[in-house]
A and B are shown apart, each in its own frame.
Chain A
Amino acid sequence: DVKVTQSSRYLVKRTGEKVFLECVQDMDHENMFWYRQDPGLGLRLIYFSYDVKMKEKGDIPEGYSVSREKKERFSLILESASTNQTSMYLCASTYPAGRTGNTIYFGEGSWLTVV
């Protein structure tokens, strides 16, 4: 089974803190994604990466950065956490386009509360 693991399920951080959310996948997937989910807004793409050290902005990258130093690991960084970043964060991974029978797999999510 594909495993996408988000290291922290529940975090509480203070405004202005630097926050790291870690994601590891065990399927040798090239593509990795960070989404956030908010009530009434669905899932919105923050950043994605299609290879080590490669990244592209998604729809809502402001206030976030990412790091992909190894293929299996994709980190989301909040440089200075703010209360409007309180949300559920979801990591996902998949193979590149062109492989048949493939889909995007999600981790269980990280609930971040910024106080």
Chain B
Amino acid sequence: DQQVKQNSPSLSVQEGRISILNCDYTNSMFDYFLWYKKYPAEGPTFLISISSIKDKNEDGRFTVFLNKSAKHLSLHIVPSQPGDSAVYFCAASVGGSNYKLTFGKGTLLTVNP
């Protein structure tokens, strides 16, 4: 049973526009959510996170929104840049940010110049 779902395998946007990546989860015990970015042949790098006590967290061009009632979170990238092209993984954990993560399958974002 997949507890973290990224239903869009890929997304293509134009440079300068907004990218919205979505993630749904089923386990109501999850209390910490993270987004990781991954380039080919490299390990994932941490992008942004949000605790379940918040509904929004912003860091520069990246904003994560959490809707607990819908068990849904989204990552907004504004403005999108070609260097943002990568696979984005949504992840969730129980017990804060340091315990084991459950990942979604990832969404390949392509930002076209």
CB of A97 within 8 A of CB of B96, answer yes
CB of A4 within 8 A of CB of B105, answer no
Looking at chain B's contact residues, the main secondary structure is: loop
The one of A41, A94, A98, A108 that contacts B43, using a Cβ cutoff of 8 Å: A108
Please choose the segment from B44-52, B62-70, B72-80 that sits at the chain A interface, where 4 or more of its residues have CB less than 8 A away. Answer: B44-52
Distance between B28 CB and nearest chain A CB, rounded to angstroms: 19
Question: How far apart are the CA atoms of A85 and B88 in the complex, in Å?
Answer: 23
CB of B98 within 8 A of CB of A99, answer yes
The one of B36, B95, B102, B106 that contacts A97, using a Cβ cutoff of 8 Å: B95
Question: How far apart are the CA atoms of A97 and B98 in the complex, in Å?
Answer: 5
Number of A residues, CB within 8 Å of B: 30
Question: How far apart are the CA atoms of A111 and B41 in the complex, in Å?
Answer: 8
Q: Which residue of B lies closest to A88 (CB)?
A: B41
Question: How far apart are the CA atoms of A63 and B107 in the complex, in Å?
Answer: 28
Q: Which residue of B lies closest to A58 (CB)?
A: B100
The one of A31, A43, A97, A102 that contacts B44, using a Cβ cutoff of 8 Å: A43
Q: Which residue of A lies closest to B9 (CB)?
A: A40
B20 cross-chain contacts in A, Cβ below 8 A? none
Range class of the B interface residue count: 20 to 34
Per-residue contact bits, chain A 8-49, to B (CB 8 Å; 1 contact, 0 not)? 000000000000000000000001010100001111110010
Given contacts A40-B105, A42-B104, contact A96 B44 (CB under 8 A): no
Q: Which residue of A lies closest to B96 (CB)?
A: A97
B91 cross-chain contacts in A, Cβ below 8 A? 43
CB of A104 within 8 A of CB of B98, answer yes
Given contacts A43-B44, A90-B43, contact A98 B105 (CB under 8 A): no
CB of B43 within 8 A of CB of A33, answer no
Task: Name A's B-contacting residues (CB within 8 A).
Answer: 4, 31, 33, 35, 40-45, 48, 58-59, 90, 92, 94-99, 102-109, 111
Sample of 9 further A-B pairs with CB below 8 A, known A96-B98, A104-B97: A31-B98, A40-B9, A40-B105, A45-B100, A45-B101, A58-B100, A97-B97, A103-B97, A107-B43
